[in-house]
Amino acid sequence: MAISDMSVRTEPGSFRDPGNQIFYHGGDVLRGLDPTAAQQWLALSATEFFPALLAEGKVCATEPVDPVRVPTGSRWATVLRHERIPFVSHPYEWSFGMLRDAALLHLEILRSALSAGFTTKDGSAYNLQWRGARPVFIDVGSFEPVRDGEPWAGYRQFCQTLLYPLLVTAHLGLDFRPWLRAQVDGIEADQMRRLFTGTRRLLRGVPAHVHLHGAMQARNAEASTTDVRAQLRAAGYSRDLALATVRGMERLVRRLDHRPSAGHWADYQRTCGYSDADREAKEGFVDTALATAGYPGLVLDLGANDGRYSRIAARHAEYVVAVEQDPDVVDALYRTLRAEGERRILPLVTDLADPSPGGGWRGVERAGLADRATADVVLALAVVHHLALGRNVPLPEVLDWLVGCVVPGGRLVVEFVHPEDPMARRLLANKPDGIFPDYRRTTFEALLTGRGRIERQRELPSGTRTLYQVAV
């Protein structure tokens, strides 16, 4: 018996390919395939390369299920079930190293597919997600048989959402995230050409993938896809040439890098002012809070910095998302986690005072952070004062937001930095006197009590910071 339409939720971001679509039913992630896509799936699953990618964890786990798992009257001939990614993130929340590794995995999968007579229809960064510090390709519906003489259909998407952002940061030192956040389709070739003029035109990867690509787009602006394919066939474009192009792009992406200069946040543990006694007490408080939380499925570490408390959380939880504003700190944390093979801590770049909004079609194609960031346990350590004093967010609103990130029955572990603390005084130094009359410990505790139940609290040995464990 087919399941009810009311029990199925369609993924808002999966409408672009009419041949397949993502649905959610209960805890399952389902993909419906139309008859053509269903035949391509059968051919794909019979290859040697695709099962190997599944076994290596480079493509999300996938298996066919009964087609009645989608509503009656649907046009789907086959239904696949995918593994559920622990936390969905977007490319403008990744560090440079994360974006580069995602690009390399995309190219590796394309190279394997081409060698086996397949290709991918898309080249978008959104086709990849993360298991901790390891990227995984999720768009199984993107695979299709390759046709000789045809270029990679996903090349433009790959350039705009992966290669161009990497070039912008590696060559110019500019942050790629605002570009990707502002434009769901990524950076256009015309925008890149305006950045790479003069001697910059000769930088690695720019002549072929920016200027030549842009010139070809302009030349063929009026031509149909069929016309372009015919021109390429006539010019002798082949699968071997496509493979050589992909290998060249892999070499290019591997050579791109961005090493930040040392800054305050890169050595936070040395400069934050904690004494050894404070740090020991804080780590013990957090460890106990997590140990008594009943093995939470998801922990959000807001203001994670170097990941010290995310690592403590990972000892007691299924998955941890470490959110930090400084992209250089996140990149350093990511590279360390990657080297360790960590798959249960996902580091992300996000300004908590300006979190990722909804984007794309109708503002829901890419869900905003507020719609994704709910967890069994939320760590908000050394965060409140930065939002309330540093960014002028009213204290009640800070707590409303933090409590809103916790699922009912979950826990909030939050730190209050007293006004006399050196860090608080530093934030207040350039503020008018008396601008935050309600920023007091008594007010903070009253606000907490109105939003949950304080289970434990601990004043750190320095006497200027207090930790709270709150049942929501």
In 271-405, the DSSP E strands lie at 298-302, 319-324, 345-349, 375-380
Residues in CB range of 292: below 8 A, 6 or more apart: none
In whole angstroms, what is the distance from residue 375 CA to residue 405 CA? 6
Q: How many CB atoms lie within 10 A of CB 379?
A: 29
Q: How many CB atoms lie within 10 A of CB 110?
A: 27
pLDDT in tens, 325-378: 999 999 999 999 999 999 999 999 999 999 999 999 999 999 999 999 999 999
In whole angstroms, what is the distance from residue 335 CA to residue 323 CA? 15
Angle of helix 96-115 relative to helix 164-172, nearest 10 degrees, comes to 140
In whole angstroms, what is the distance from residue 141 CA to residue 139 CA? 5
Contact between 286 and 312 under an 8 Å Cβ cutoff? The reply is yes
Three-class DSSP category at 315: coil
Q: What are residue 145's DSSP bridge partners? A: 118
Q: Which of 261, 262, 265 is nearest to 382 (CA)?
A: 265
| Residue found by looking up tokens 């990149």 in the block | 331
CA contacts within 13 A on the Cβ side of 261? 1
> What's the confidence (pLDDT) of residue 231?
57
Residues in CB range of 277: below 8 A, 6 or more apart: 460, 461, 462
Residues in the chain: 472
In whole angstroms, what is the distance from residue 306 CA to residue 334 CA? 10
> What's the confidence (pLDDT) of residue 230?
59
Q: List b or e across 269-300, with b for residues whose CB sees 16 or more CB atoms inside 10 angstroms.
A: eeeeebeeebeebbeebbeebbeebeebebbb
Pairing of strands 375-380, 406-417: parallel
In whole angstroms, what is the distance from residue 436 CA to residue 423 CA? 15
Q: Which two tokens stand for residue 106?
A: 């995309």
Contact between 300 and 377 under an 8 Å Cβ cutoff? The reply is yes
> What's the confidence (pLDDT) of residue 270?
52
Residues in CB range of 328: below 8 A, 6 or more apart: 260, 263, 265, 266
pLDDT in tens, 10-37: 999 988 898 999 999 888 999 999 999 9
Residues in CB range of 249: below 8 A, 6 or more apart: 107, 163, 209
Q: What are residue 346's DSSP bridge partners? A: 321
Pairing of strands 298-302, 319-324: parallel
CA contacts within 13 A on the Cβ side of 410? 21
Per-residue pLDDT of the chain (472 residues; tens, 9 = 90+): 445 556 788 999 988 898 999 999 888 999 999 999 999 999 999 999 999 999 999 999 999 998 766 655 567 899 999 999 999 999 999 999 999 999 999 999 999 999 999 999 999 999 999 999 999 999 999 999 998 778 899 999 999 999 999 999 999 999 999 999 999 999 999 999 999 999 999 999 999 999 887 677 666 566 555 555 655 565 556 788 889 999 999 999 999 999 876 554 455 555 456 789 999 999 999 999 999 999 999 999 999 999 999 999 999 999 999 999 999 999 999 999 999 999 999 999 999 999 999 999 999 999 999 999 999 999 999 999 999 999 999 999 999 999 999 999 999 999 999 999 999 999 999 889 889 999 999 999 999 999 999 999 999 999 999 999 999 9
